[in-house]
Each structure stands twice: as structure tokens, then as C-alpha cells.
Structure 1
Amino acid sequence: MKTRLPAPAGDAVRNAWRWVCVNDRAARLGTVLVFVVLVLFGITTSSIGISELRQDPADPLGWQFGKSRPIRSDEIHAFSAIVLSILATHGAPSLSPLAARADLVHRFPTDGFFEQFVFFDSTLLRAAGVIPEHMLFAAHWWLPSLILLLAMPTWFHQLGRSRRYGWFAAILIVLSPSNAWWSLQPVALIAYTLGGCVLMIAAYQRFKQGQRFAPAALAAVGGILIAGLPTFYAPWSLLLGLPVLIASTAWILLQRSGWAPRLKAVLITGGTAVVFGAGTLFENREGLQALFSTVYPGSRRAEADPQPFGRLFGAPALGPLQYFEPVGVNASELSSSFTVFFVWILVLLLAAQWRPGFRDSIAEWTFGSWSVLWIAWISLDLGPMSQKFPLLNLVTPPRASQVVGVLAVILASLLLSRWSPPDSWRVPLLAGAACALVTGYAASLLKAADLPELPDAQILLVPLAVGVAVAAITKYPQRLWPLALCVVLAALPVARANPVLVGLGDLRASDAAKAVAGQAPAARADGKLWAADSPALNTLLLSNGMPSLSGLQRSGPDAAAWQKLDPESAYANKWNRGGGYIFFSWAPGQPTTYETNDFDAVGVTIDPCVLKAAWQNLDRIVSSRPLEAACLALDSELQWDGKPAYIYTVR
């Protein structure tokens, strides 16, 4: 009997290298490695390092490269502050008792069974006592991007498309200006649904092979991921997530295999999604009812409305947003995705006289039909009658126009992954010229209306770059360098849009934060409340788990709680609002007044003693200026935003 000798080290290395190089395994491993590094060092692109959230802006804690921008107020004062609050409490965030339950609109669990699983990404934050906070914050920040980057190529492969174009689509979605300027929200609103669909298709494939338990588990997990589809920012999550779900389900049902594996995968996934989704909605029925009953945004019904051409197609020319403020609109509202890809798609379908079949191209047909619907919504004036269109009337055309380009990116990538390179340059040049002309015209309109700082040279160079990239990919769809060129060009307009932050800034590590955090557990245990008079101080309290009357009202109001201040609900039109904030202004000896910005902010000017009479468990108020009132006694001072803040005991 011969003894087998160990393989030479060189063979082991070569075998390992071959294993890594199979398909896109190296890209997947690299993506996971980058995620791990970002998490270990607590690196994010959050704007919580903004000066107003520093104890001393001249001497900030930690390291930050780039500028935090006030335009990201929702991320700064709501999304990230809620995550930090969960890290501080190891449970539910310390939101205002004036507000209804906000689990659905921010994907965090309170005490419901189903939501613990559906909002698993926030449930994991409760491990803060075991895993360092900066790591959990970074993991929560990057998890949707990781899932998108890993799931999109797999989804393409499952549908019989090129994994390379799955990467192309995922990277362009991540690099979309709307994703950059909306703090990665579009990615978060499609990633989990996509991940669930990938698991559903994988379950079908394993059922077809005769497996039983493993595919059932995959389908169940996929259903839990899909159950979160109508949560968070529902208008975008439905716009982006529904076509992925419809296309994936239709693809399975249209396969030529036996009915049993198809039905098992769809029914187990769908049944789990319905049970967990309905359970989560039931657990949050009060918050949902409060949201639907608000003056804003619950009663708002949108109607179709043509959007400015420049804002629709100008995404490649939005680089100056990194350095200059737009006119008459903010950077987030101006941002969009690569809607110009619809022009590319049109050329491919018309000029090349190419028609995909239905059964084998159900994904393309689904995304194409869905895109036509939303293009009509943002391009046609259908008048008040369009307010009656279900689903569409929940999404204002400006919001739809900001992310509809994501559909274009996915659809174009699906088509290109099966595109046969033409012998001549006729179609590639036509596609490149069409996209260049549309981009150039959009850029010129942006300069005239919204971005006067847009250099004239860019109005020429950006369309030229778009045209070259489109022509090159159309001519050489199977080569890597045209895709890489397009990715590099897409990265330029957003490379400096976000800061790079290591750690959590001053919100958890500063002396002021530690002082608040030290008193928060006792306040929570005793049912005591604080209240502050500035957004920066409200965020400091929330981020450290301090129960506070001021702060966030994201779903809508708790009407009974507000009636302690307004017994007759005479000012309900002011405070019956969701998606926003509650501000107090201290006015000892003055009557109580209410104000609103007609959208999401609720302001209450009130005597602290009157507030104490309404809320007996009010224990402390924080004021940005010294106060004198019979019920107040100065307890301590802290520094925040480079200025003193005064903490008063309210008796």
C-alpha cells in the first residue's frame, strides 16, 4: 500500500487561488473583508460628527475626514440617534411619550414577538453590552450595502443572467447620488427584500433537487426578510422592493419543472412573509393608526406631476453638490439616480430591434412595466383624479423621481447581461450619443435653475464621459474595462458627498454625554422625564438613552398624551404630525403657544412650571440659556456645541 505524500505548498497555494478565482468569489470575499474592516474600526459615513453635536467643536473627539452636512438632519437627529439610543438602553430607544410607537417607520423592535425577527438588524444592536458600540453602529450602517452587494449578483445568476452585471447594478445603486445624499436609504429599502427573494429562489432550486428541510428553512428566512417590505420609508420601499418580489415570484412559477418545488418555495416564503408582516403590523397598529391620522404625512395624497428635466436626468452632473449649495432646493431634494439609463434601454430595444421573450425574460418585463408606470407618474399631469390611484398616491412625484433611476440601472443591467455585441459601431454610437445629449441638456438646465456653480466645462465633459462609457459597454458588453470605467465615472459625483467618521464622535464618549448617560438608567427605572430646548440637546439626550418629552415624533402623536397640554385639542392641527420633531422653548410666566412648519416640526413655547403641572414625572429640563422660575432649581451645567447648557430640577 502506497503512502500518499502531502501536496507541495505551491500546489496548495495554486488550488486556493483557483478556488478564489471561481466566478466572482474573490469579489465576494473582498466585499466581506471590507465590511469586517469597517466594522472593526467603527468606520461609517454618518454625519453625527457635525459641529452642533460636539461638546467642543474646536476640539472634537475621534477622527473624521470630510464635512458633515446639516442637510442630513434626519440621519443625524433621528436615524442614527435612534440607533445610538438602542445601544445605550440595550432595548427600545428613549423616544418621547408624546409620540406614538415608531417601530415601523424606523425598523426597531420594542416588545413585539414578530418585530424582533423582522427588524433583526436593530435587534442585534442590543448586544452592546458584549460587542463594542462603535462596531455595532458600523455593522448596522453597512449591513444593507453588504446584503445588496452580495445578493444582487446572486439574483442575476439565479435568473440566468451575468453575475458581473449584478455587481455592476449593485455598485451603481450604491453610488447613486440619491443614495449618497439620502444617507444610504435607497439601498436599505431594497436590500432586505432582494435578500429574501434570493433565499426564496435558492429554496426552489433545492426543493427541485429533492431536498426537504434546508430549502424550507431558506424559504422561511426569506419570508422574514420580505415581511419588512412595507416598513421604514414605505413609499420608496414599495417602489423599489415590489418589482424585485414580483419578478422573483413570477420567475419561479413560470419555470418548466414540476409544480411541487415551485409551490413549496413560493408558499412557504409567502406564508412566512404574510404571518410575520401581518404580525408586525398588528403589534404596531397604534403607531400605524396615528400615522394615517396625521395632518402630515398621513392625510397627504399625491397626484401625478411632471418633474423638471434637469432633476430627472442630471445625476451624472451633480458633482458640484459636494462643494456648493444649490439654489432654491437642498442637495437631497436635487439628488437622483441614473435615470438616463432609460434612454440607453430605449435605444437597445428600438435601434437594435431586439425583443426578449416573456417566459425567459419575466424579470425584464416586470421591471419594464413597473418603470413605465412610474415614468408616467413623474412625467404626466393627470390632474386631481390621479390622487385616487392606489399606491402611486402615497409617493410624491419629486420623491419618486429621485429613485426611479434605480429601476433603470437594474433593468439596463438585466438587458446588457444578455446583449450580443454588434458587429458595427452603429448602435453603440447611437446609444452613447443619445445618453450624452440627454445628460448635457439636463446639466445645462441644472446650471440655469439649481446649480449656478456648475462649471461650463463639466456641461461638456460629463456628457462626453457618459457617452463614451455607454458606447463602450454597448460595444464590448463582456469586457470588464468598460464597466470599470462607468463605475469610476459614477463615483466622481459622490466621492466627497459624505464624511468618513471613525467611532461615534462626541455623542457617547464626551464628558457631557457621559454625564447624561450616567443618570439615564435611574430616570428610566423611575419613570422620570427630561426635556430640552434645542435639537442638538434633544439628540444628546436621545443618544444616551435619557427619556425625554422633547425629541422625535416619527409615526404621529399620542393624542391622549398631547391632551395633557392641550385638553380640548384646540391646536391639534399643529401637533398632529408625523415623521418629525418636537421642540420646546422655555418661557417662564408666558402663555403656551404652538407652532409648526406645516410639515413635520412641532414647536411648543411653554412655562416649565406649566409643563410640570401637566407631566408630574417631568424631572429635569435642559436650557440653552439661564432661567428663573419658582419651580426651577439649577442642578448642574454641561457644555454642548461649545456653549453652556443649564440643567434644572423641576419641582
Structure 2
Amino acid sequence: MGKRVTLLAYAGRSDNPLRIAVILLYVIVVVMGATTSSIGMPTLRQDPAHPLGLQIGDASPIRSDEYNAFSPIVLSIMATGGAPTTSVLAAPADIAHRYPSGGFFETLVFFDSTLLRSAAFLPDAMVFAAHWWLPALLLFLFLPTWFSQLGAARRWGWLAAFLIALSPAASWWTMMPIQLIAYTIAGSSLLLSAYRRFALGQRLIPALQSLLSGILLAGLPSFYIPWSLVLGLPVLTATAVWIMASRETWKPKLLALGSAGLVSMVFAAGVLWENRAGLSALLNTVYPGSRRSAGAAQSFAMLFGAPALGAMQDVAPVGINQSELSTAFTIAFVWAALLIVFIKNLGKFRDNTVILVLGAFALIWLAWCTINFGERGSSIPLLNYVQPARAAQVCGILASLLVCFLLDRLPSRVGWRGPAVAAASCALVTGYAASSLQLSYLPTMPRSLILGTSLAVGACVFITTKFPAKVWPLVLTSALAAVPVIGANPLLFGLGDLRESETATYLRAEGRQAAASGGVWASDFSPFDTVMTANGVPSLSGLQRSGPNTEAWEKLDPQSRHADAWNRGGGFVFFEWTVGQPIDFGTVATDTTLVRVDPCDLKNRWPSLQGIASSHKLEAPCLVPERTLTWSGKEFSVYKFK
């Protein structure tokens, strides 16, 4: 026991330089305005042949949600100093995108977006970068602390943080999984700190920690809710169960859990109340509100092929895109199972609450994406909101947390048999998954990559299991984990053409005038909608992320005859100018509505329409040519109304 305490104390001291390095790195990338955003796409340049700013590497076309929605919303908040200029036909999407529109509760719970208003005092590129990297900063600062608070060595928290941050799922989904777990980890860590201080008889500091914890945890059911359920709920539950099972008296337990829980419930209820219109719109949409899923088996290649996905940097997969194929390190399930077998004495239930809770959640979600539940599966509460493919993509993050807690239980000296068996098993599973990838999604993958990936996984498992008291195996494992994703995203300095181009500058000025007079704009080209959103132009076309504003849509479709076309969320509203033709509605994709309309007819239906942009010349009696703009290398005609 004394040796274990000494080891924990050493681990706590030794990572101070690493924490300082993380903070310094955050400051550096913020000052440089550096991100891995794909807003430098050629379609989001004024002249793709002469892009503004510096970008190292190519933008990722598959991350359209990021560069057409997530990042433009952030830039829009910075431009307006308030709510983003999503389509006025859409219901508010505050919860879906973690931004406040003026409500008291959401302003505090979605503090990360509230901070975007500091763009009035700081350069936009710095504010954008600070917001971009904030979840990663919290992950690396709080996850090792969370591990140590639960009795594990801090170094395993560092390994878990690297396995999460460097997973293909995090890279190919533009760090979404990090954002969906980081705030919960930070809130859980503050909850544990409050508990410890309450146990010491303190009152003021733990009360403040409980308040902050509750506010952070209140944001759990936001952003992308399916992954919030998969990732955030297990972390919070494990923390609460550990506190309840601890040997301390009941008073500090109830004070910590009660105060943080009460704050969390009040703020969560407040956010839901403030966003009841957007939630109602989303839940009543044709897509995705009515969608329910049942557990179903996913391909072995997808489940366990993450270490071999570096091949996607050179060639797109067949029959699927990079984001849909990317997963976390699900191979950690195999590793964890073998560790449980080889660890002879795990101790009492009280000592294993975190392992048991994380293991139970991890197995539930693994089952959801490996077993066919049939039609009855779609009626299982909470689980039915998560598509099995989505569970498959991130359940490996839970496995990574689990395996790191189990590695902490190993003695300082480990024999050869256990590490060798674990390494061989993980290498074989990885080799089979990589071979399956070659036979299905990545036919051009070289055999040398399959062999190299298998050997690398086996080597990492062996050295980390054989030498659990050493730091160098963790460094090597983290370095090798970065190989499959090192070139998945670009390194962008600044905001490129979305802020600095002549088109962006013009639209930003027009956006301010339109907002002041209650006017709106519209365009017939999706990338042009993006630059309008990013510069705060109120518009009819553009983003409809939660669902429709039914009252607004009825101005275009009075009898709601075409509601199936526009009653959709998570997507976009496109316009097509058809001079002299009656208005028509269609659906381009499950999340995209197309409105074909004469601009003069649209002006009659929506009197506050002030300007439109068209990808082709228009001749209509109500239009007055204003000027031409260039975007995506194309010339656009801007028209005002008589």
C-alpha cells in the first residue's frame, strides 16, 4: 500500500511540466490563430486559385457539417455579438449547437459560445482558435486529475486522453467526441473536488465547485445528443457511484451530490425551457425527429479497424466516407478483457466501482453495435436514439478509459505470459480487421500496412502491459496512435476568405444593415449561404439545424401542403431562382429542403427581403442590379428590390 501511495504521489508531481506544456501550447495556437478547421475548402474561397492566409495540408471535403455549419455558426456569433444568423425559416438550434440566444441559463451552460462575444475586443482568428481548442485543453487538464481523484495514477489519465484525442473518430469528426466528453469530465472532476473538500469540513470553496460542476454537467444533453449519451453519461454515472460507494460519511456525499445535482437539474431544466420551441420543432420533424434505431451488427472491419485507417489519408474508402468509417480504438475491449483475466486480485466491489460502471456501459454500447436486436430494439429507451453505427464509432473511447483503469491495477512487476498473450490477441484481431478493410472499404491498402499496423498494436499492448510503472511505453503508444490521423486534417492559420475577402467584407456590412432594419437576404448557392452566415447576414436560405419555424414556413406554404419537404432538421434550406414560375418545394436529401421560387414572388411573400445573390443573371421586374461578387471562383450577381 505504501509503495502505491508513493507511486501516486510521484505521478502527481511529475506531470506538472506536462500540464504547463499543454497550457503553453494552447496559448501558442490561440495567438497564432491556428486550427484544424476545413473552412479553407476551395468552395469557401473567393478565388480558389489564390486563397487568402496560410493553410498547411488540404481541407477535408467530407467534413461538410464542420465547414458548412459548425464553424460558420461560430463565426456568425462573433460577427453579430449574439445569436447566429441561421435561416429565419428555422427554429432556434441553441441546444443542437451549444450557443445562447439571450436566455440566462443557456448563457452560462453554453459558456464556450458565450465567450465568442469577446471577438469585439480580440482578433477573430484568436477567438475562433480559443473556442476550437477549448475542449481539448479541458480534456488534457482534467482527465488525468479525474483519474487521480478516483484512485488511479495520473499517467493513465494522460494515456486515455491521448487515445481519445488521437482516435480516428475524433480526427475525422473534427474533434466532436472530445467536445462531447470533455465538459462532462471537467464537471465530474469538480464534483469530486467538492466532495473531498466537504469531507474536510470546508464550505465556501466546495460550494463554488459544486456550482461550476452543476453548470458544466447541465450541458450534457446538448450538441450531438446520441454521442452525449454514449460518452458523457457513463463518466458522470461512474463518478457518482464512486462517491456513493466511498468509505466517507454520508454528509459530504450528500452535500456534494445534492448541491451539484440540484444546480445541474435547475440549469438543465432552465435550458430546456428556454429552448422549448427548438426542441418541439426538432422532435416533430419528419427527419430526424421521428427516427428511432435498433441495435444491429456492424462490420468487423469498421469495429476494430481504427489502427489501420491511416490509409484513408491517401484514398477515399469504397461505398462509405471517411467519417462514417472512422472509429475509436475499439481494440481496447480485447485488451481490457485479457487484463481482467490476468489481474489476479481486483479487490472488493467498493474498489472497482468505476471499472464496473464503465465496463457495464461499454458492454451495452458494444452489444448495441454487434447484436441484431430486431424491431423490439427500437423501443428501448435512450438506446433507440443512437444509431448502432454511431455507437460503433465512439464506444472505443469508453474501452480506452476502461483499459487505462485496469492497467493501473497491474503490479509494478509483470511476468511475460500475460503481456505476450494480450499483445498477440490484439495484434491478430487488428490484422484480421485491417485485412477485412482491404477486402471491403480500402482495396488499395498495401499488405505491408496491415502487417505494420498489427505489429505496432501488438508492441504497444505488450510494452504497456509488461512495464506499467514506466512512462516510455505510454509515450511510444501515444506517438504510434497519432500515425493513422497525422494528416487527416489541415493546419489553418486565421480565417481565410470567410473573413478577409472582399466578398466577406461586403456581406458583413450588409449584414449589419439588414439586422438593424429587420431585413433578410437569400442566395441560390450553398457555399454563398455559408459566407453569408459566417458574416452575420440574416437570411432565408442557409441553416435549419433544429427544425422548421412553422409560422415562418407558412408564409411560403400557407396550407402546409409541402410540409414533408420542409419539416426537417439537422440540415439546410436551398433556394433556386425560377423567374415566372410558381413556387415549388422539394427535398434534395433527407436533411435538405429546396425551394424553387420567382424572387418577385418571394418578395411578396416575405416583404422584409432586401437582397438576393444569384449564380446566374436574372431578369425580373422587381429586381435592381446592385453589383457582382466572386465566390468559389464564380461570379454572383447581387440584386436589391425596387
Tell me the SS of whatever aligns to 1:563: helix
- The one-character-per-residue Cα deviations of 1:118-152 (angstroms, maximum 9, x if unpaired) are 00000011111111111110000000000000000
Give the AA of the match of 1:191.
A
Question: Counterpart of 1:392?
Answer: 383
Matching residue of 1:616: 607
Aligned partner of 1:626 in structure 2 is: 617
One-letter amino acid of the counterpart of residue 186, structure 1: P
Q: Tell whether the 8 Å contact from 1:20 to 1:26 is kept in structure 2 after alignment.
A: no
1:364 equivalent to 2:355? Answer yes
CA contact (8 A) 1:352 1:427 kept: no
Report the counterpart of residue 191 of structure 1 in structure 2: 182
Residue matched to 2:138: 147
Distance 1:536 1:600 in 2: 16
Question: How much does 1:355 deviate?
Answer: 3.9
Aligned equivalent of 2:552: 561
Given candidates 238, 254, 267, the residue that maps to 1:263 is: 254
Contact 1:44-1:501 within 8 A present in 2 as well: yes
Residue 455 (str. 1) matches residue 446 (str. 2):
yes
Aligned length: 634
Partner of 1:441 in structure 2? Answer: 432
Distance 2:472 2:590 in 1: 47
1:290 counterpart SS class:
helix
User: Does 2:268 align with 1:272?
Assistant: no
> What SS does structure 2 have at the residue aligned with 1:70?
coil
**Paired position in structure 1 for 2:32:** 41
The secondary structure found in structure 2 opposite 1:627 is coil
Give CA deviations for 1:315-364 in whole Å, capped at 9, x if unaligned. Answer: 00000111111110000000000000000011111244554531111110
In 2: Cα distance, 1:48 partner to 1:592 partner: 33
Q: Which residue number in structure 1 is paired with residue 279 of structure 2?
A: 288
- Give the structure 2 partner of residue 544 of structure 1: 535
Q: Could you give the per-residue CA deviations for residues 432-460 of structure 1, whole angstroms, max 9, x where no partner exists?
A: 01101110110011111111121111111
Counterpart residue identity of residue 542, structure 1 = T
Q: Is the 8 A contact 1:531 1:538 kept in 2?
A: yes
Shift of 1:21: 9.1
Instruction: For residue 202 of structure 2, give the secondary structure of its aligned residue in structure 1.
Output: coil
The match for 2:112 is: 121
Code of the aligned partner of 2:62: I
Return the alpha-carbon distance in structure 1 between the equivalents of residues 362 and 415 of structure 2.
30
Distance (Å, rounded) in 2 between the aligned partners of 1:421 and 1:381: 42
Structure 1 residue 595, shift from structure 2 partner: 1.9
Gaps of 5+ in 1: 1-17
Distance 1:446 1:360 in 2: 40
1:353–1:326 distance in 2 versus 1, CA, 3 Å: same
Letter in 1 for 2:71: S
CA distance in 1, matches of 2:12, 2:424: 36
Point out the more displaced range, 351-360 or 181-190. 351-360
Alignment correspondent of 1:222: 213
- Shift in CA distance, 82/615, structure 1 to aligned 2, threshold 3 Å: same
d(CA) in 2 for partners of 1:221 and 1:643? Answer: 49
- The alignment partner of 1:306 has SS state of coil
Matched, 1:581 2:572: yes
**Percent of residue pairs bearing the same amino acid type:** 51
Counterpart of 1:398, as a letter, is A
Checking the alignment, whether the CA contact within 8 Å between 1:253 and 1:262 is kept in structure 2 is: yes
| Pairing of 1:409-420 with structure 2 (within 5 A) | 409-420=400-411
Aligned-pair CA distance for 1:407: 0.4
* Aligned partner of residue 397 in structure 2, secondary structure: helix
Superposed CA offset, 1:187-233 (max 9, x none): 00000011001001001111111111011000100100000000000
The answer to whether the Cα contact below 8 Å between 2:238 and 2:353 also exists between their aligned partners in 1 is: yes
Q: How does 1:494-573 map to 2 (within 5 A)?
A: 494-573=485-564
What is the rounded CA distance, in whole Å, between the counterparts of 1:460 and 1:287 in structure 2? 50
Structure 1 counterpart of 2:585: 594
Pick aligned residue for 2:204 from 203, 208, 213? 213
Structure 2 residue aligned with 1:247? 238
Aligned ranges for residues 79-94 of structure 1 at < 5 Å?
A: 79-94=70-85
RMSD between aligned residues: 1.4
Q: Tell me the distance in 1 between the aligned counterparts of 2:137 and 2:232.
A: 17
Shift in Å, 1:650: 2.8
Contact 2:12 2:153 survives alignment (8 Å):
no
8 Å contact from structure 2 (residues 11, 154) kept in 1: no
Correspondence for 2:313 among 318, 322, 333? 322
Q: Shift in Å at residue 23 of structure 1?
A: 2.9
Out of 126-135 and 146-155, give the one that drifted further. 126-135
Q: How far, CA to CA, are the matches of 1:62 and 1:406 in structure 2? A: 35
Match of 1:105 among 96, 102, 108: 96
